[in-house]
Amino acid sequence: MIVIVGGGHAAGQAAAGLRQGGYGGKVLVVCDEPHIPYQRPPLSKQYLAGEQGLDRVYLRPDSFYEGRDIELVSGTRAAGIDRKAKVLALEDGSTVAYEKLLLATGARVRKLDIPGGTLPGVHYLRDIADADDIKADMLPGRRATIVGGGYIGLEVASVAVQAGLSVTVLEMEDRILKRVASPEMSDFYQALHTDAGVDIRTGASAERFAGTGRVEQVVCADGTRVPSDLVVVGIGIVPNVELAESAGLACENGIRVDERCTTSDPDIYAAGDCTNHPNPILERRLRLESVPNAMEQSRIAAANMAGGDSVYASMPWFWSDQYDLKLQMVGFSTDGDSHVVRGDPAERRFVMFHFSGDVLAAADAVNSPREFLACRQLVGRPADPGQLADPGTDLRQLAR
How far from the centroid of its chain's Cα atoms is residue 251's Cα? 20
- Per-position DSSP letters for 272-297, written without gaps between them: STTEEEEETTTTEEE----HHHHHHH
pLDDT in tens, 8-55: 999 999 999 999 999 999 999 999 999 999 999 999 999 999 999 999
The DSSP letter of residue 335 is G
CB 102 within 8 A of CB 305: yes
Give me the tens of pLDDT residue by residue for the chain, a chain 400 residues long: 999 999 999 999 999 999 999 999 999 999 999 999 999 999 999 999 999 999 999 999 999 999 999 999 999 999 999 999 999 999 999 999 999 999 999 999 999 999 999 999 999 999 999 999 999 999 999 999 999 999 999 999 999 999 999 999 999 999 999 999 999 999 999 999 999 999 999 999 999 999 999 999 999 999 999 999 999 999 999 999 999 999 999 999 999 999 999 999 999 999 999 999 999 999 999 999 999 999 999 999 999 999 999 999 999 999 999 999 999 999 999 999 999 999 999 999 999 999 999 999 999 999 999 999 999 999 999 999 999 999 999 999 998 8
| pLDDT number for residue 37 | 96
Rounded to the nearest 10 degrees, the angle between the axes of helix 9-20 and helix 291-305 is: 40
Counting every residue written for the chain, the total comes to: 400
The DSSP letter of residue 327 is E
CA gap 244, 187 in Å, rounded: 40
pTM: 0.95
Kindly provide the b/e burial profile for residues 372-392, where b requires at least 16 CB atoms within 10 angstroms of the residue's own CB: bebbbebbbeebeeeebbeee
Separation of first and last alpha carbons in the chain: 43
| pLDDT number for residue 205 | 96
CA gap 133, 112 in Å, rounded: 18
What is the spatial order of strands in the sheet that 359-366 belongs to? 317-322, 325-331, 359-366, 349-356, 338-344
| pLDDT number for residue 247 | 98
| pLDDT number for residue 399 | 86
- CA distances (Å), origin 31, targets 78, 94, 352, 360: 8, 14, 40, 40
3-state helix, strand, coil in the chain (%, to 5): 25, 30, 45
| pLDDT number for residue 236 | 94
CA gap 177, 179 in Å, rounded: 6
| pLDDT number for residue 224 | 97
pLDDT in tens, 124-150: 999 999 999 999 999 999 999 999 999
Contacts of 22 (CB under 8 A, 6+ apart): 306
CA gap 341, 343 in Å, rounded: 6
